[in-house]
Structure 1
Amino acid sequence: MGEGSKVCVTGGSGYIGSWLINKLLAKGYTVHATLRDLKNESKVGLLKSLPHAEGKLVLFEADIYNPTQFDPAIQGCEYVFHVATPLAHEPGSSQQYKDTTEAAVAGTKSIAMSCVRSGTVKRLIYTASVVSAAPLKEDGSDFKDVMDETCWTPLHDSLYLHDPFYKDYIFSKTTSEKHVLSYGNDENGGGLEVVTLPCGLVGGDTLLSTPSTRTVCIAQIVQNERAYKSLKFLEGLLGKIPLVHIDDVCDAHIFCMETPSITGRFLCASSYISLQEMANHYALYYPEFTVKQENEDGERKDIKWSSTKLCEKGFVYKYDAKMILDDCIKCARRMGEL
């Protein structure tokens, strides 16, 4: 593939989007990338400065709050990576939608329909989140024994009332993923193949100069309360924390494009570890830092990570938990965060 194939990446200036574009360009693909604002010189400049960008990268302005804007970017492409997502709904940012979930679902629906209308798109690959795959029982009272692709986070308001931000994110990612999967198995899809990749907490390096989920991975060292709260939230929702390297995430996306026949849901994480195991790693290998101490809950059920679907298709992860956490430290040092 590669040479001559045209693909689209929504959310091109984000953490995953920019790394994915870099890899696609290196493989010879022509990339249509969408950004919310083409007048943002730092984001446009970053993408235009990538190796092989000249003549191979075309930028389009499109906002998830105005989903019909994505048509020109998708037209003529064979594959679409829908990476963009509204992270938090800002009142006044749109009169159309009442919350993040409504905006995310509308954007996903519109992009799927653009793929169908294009007449050229073979497969839509959606960047989902593991927050949609909590191994909670339907009433939220307890955990199941395993976490795999059959797990769907129960959407009961009462389970997430303590934090509206996390509730909005869980509801938007879960509802959007279910919606986009419906295009792969119903007549509205017009033959469109759909793959969703619920990704774990992404760590490693970055092309960006701004914080990303990588910061959450080192929250126990940098004493960032908001990032640490996200870590605790993930462990509470999922039993442990699924970790994945940015390089593996993007390779998994490309694998799901280049594999001849693939549809459905594939959890994407190479490791499944507790906050205590993360703290132990940092304390052992980085004694120069003060590591936030964890109170291990002895009653917590030992949930197993049982997702093997991606590897059964032939995908191989290159990074284990130690490598991911070590790369987060390296990156933070390079950027002056440590």
Structure 2
Amino acid sequence: MSGEGKVVCVTGASGFIASWLVKLLLDRGYTVHATVRSLTDPNKVAHLLALDRAKERLHLFEADLLDENSFDPAIKGCDGVFHTASPVSFKPSATKEELVNPAVNGTLNVLGSCVRTPSVKRVVVTSSTASVMYKRNPLTPADVIDETWFSDKDFAEETKQWYILSKVLAEEASWKYAGENKIDIVSLHPGLCIGPLLQPTLNFSSEVILGTIKEGMDFMSFPINIYVDVRDVAIAHIEAFEVPSARGRYCLVAETMHSSQVLKIVGQLYPALAIPEKYGADLPIVPTYKVSQDKAKSLGIKYTSIEVSLKDTIESLKEKSFLKF
């Protein structure tokens, strides 16, 4: 097994992507130091402790993004760090302070702990396509987004898109700090993650899928979405750590698709779901921009089809009673 004898840290381990990452790391033989906000909250720890091999090789630590030294104990003795912890919210009530400060300062606090830990060889940072593709000018079908793209932080500030701004500023801060302190970092930029949930609570991307199914496209603020399976994203994290030649940024997007087509696929897979009729008819295929997969494929990433990802998402939402039909 590739991780035998290696110790790694996963921050924000109770989250959607991070839970899958912890599971796959344990499957590969790694010993995992996982940080959560509260060791006494069953929603944060029960699903992690239930993973195969958790008893032997999973160690939980409490840590706070805004506490400068709180990641030191978890990172001590680690060969690598996966920094996934960051607040996510697109709610109008979410404030700049709630999103930007923990994202930026939390990243710097984690990287600071890595600098103080000489055993750490590489840090893999979970970013988002939010820091890649948010532009003032609307994207067109002629656009092919790749790792050279950067979101417009002034436009994000003007439009009060605080989550997007948090991702842009956290990424900027991490590259600057890593350069100054000679840390080897790789950043991953997934689209909207779908797939089965390990955690008992509803995360943001699963909420988007649930809302789209229940309320149709009217729910969506961005009708064109970029999808990727959470399991592929977790594998990409491990590859980004293990492959010596991994460098820089990696966009992780399996499919770019208009919500109407997602609803059509769901309607075909689950006729009992009663997708609103206006989305069941033969809607025209809306041309969308593309996201390059070339760099991700150089890591050996093979994407799960959107049909499989959507089916597994819906089965999981049904099993956890978030969706009834």
- Shorter-chain TM-score bucket reads 0.7 to 0.9
| Of 260, 264, 277, the match for 2:244 | 260
Aligned to 1:116: 115
1:157-306 paired onto structure 2 within 5 Å? 157=155, 161=159, 164=160, 167-184=161-178, 186=179, 188-190=180-182, 192-212=183-203, 213-223=205-215, 229=219, 231-233=220-222, 235=223, 240-292=224-276, 293=278, 302-306=288-292
1:141 matches 2:137: yes
| Cα displacement (A) at 1:118 | 0.5
Q: Return the alpha-carbon distance in structure 2 between the equivalents of residues 10 and 210 of structure 1.
A: 18
Q: Deviations over 1:131-152 (max 9, x none)?
A: 111163xxx1332622111221
| Of 288, 293, 297, the match for 1:311 | 297
Q: Return the alpha-carbon distance in structure 2 between the equivalents of residues 60 and 158 of structure 1.
A: 34
Aligned to 1:52: 53
The code of the aligned residue for 1:243 comes to: Y
| Cα displacement (A) at 1:18 | 1.4
Q: How many residues align?
A: 313
Q: TM-score, normalised to structure 2's length?
A: 0.87
Q: Return the alpha-carbon distance in structure 1 between the equivalents of residues 9 and 274 of structure 2.
A: 43
Q: Deviations over 1:290-315 (max 9, x none)?
A: 324469999x8742222310102322
Q: Return the alpha-carbon distance in structure 2 between the equivalents of residues 264 and 112 of structure 1.
A: 16
Q: Deviations over 1:97-152 (max 9, x none)?
A: 9442122111101111211220111111011111111163xxx1332622111221
Gaps (5+ residues) in structure 2?
none
Q: Quick one: percent identity of the two aligned structures?
A: 33
| Cα displacement (A) at 1:289 | 2.2
Q: Is the 8 A contact 1:199 1:267 kept in 2?
A: yes
Change in 2 beyond 3 A, CA 1:204/1:301? closer
Q: Return the alpha-carbon distance in structure 1 between the equivalents of residues 268 and 155 of structure 2.
A: 40
The code of the aligned residue for 1:323 comes to: V
Q: Return the alpha-carbon distance in structure 1 between the equivalents of residues 158 and 229 of structure 2.
A: 28
Three-state SS of the structure 2 residue aligned to 1:33 is strand
Aligned to 1:7: 8
Gaps (5+ residues) in structure 1?
91-96
Q: Is the 8 A contact 1:64 1:86 kept in 2?
A: no
1:35 matches 2:36: yes
Q: Return the alpha-carbon distance in structure 1 between the equivalents of residues 26 and 301 of structure 2.
A: 21
Change in 2 beyond 3 A, CA 1:206/1:89? closer
Q: Return the alpha-carbon distance in structure 2 between the equivalents of residues 220 and 196 of structure 1.
A: 29
1:105 matches 2:108: no
**RMSD between aligned residues:** 2.7
Aligned to 1:64: 65
Q: Is the 8 A contact 1:220 1:291 kept in 2?
A: no
Three-state SS of the structure 2 residue aligned to 1:267 is strand
Three-state SS of the structure 2 residue aligned to 1:65 is coil
Q: Return the alpha-carbon distance in structure 2 between the equivalents of residues 313 and 23 of structure 1.
A: 17
Q: Return the alpha-carbon distance in structure 2 between the equivalents of residues 215 and 281 of structure 1.
A: 18
The code of the aligned residue for 1:305 comes to: V
Aligned to 1:94: none
Q: Return the alpha-carbon distance in structure 2 between the equivalents of residues 141 and 218 of structure 1.
A: 29
The code of the aligned residue for 2:309 comes to: I
Q: TM-score, normalised to structure 1's length?
A: 0.84
The code of the aligned residue for 1:155 comes to: K
Q: Return the alpha-carbon distance in structure 2 between the equivalents of residues 21 and 175 of structure 1.
A: 26
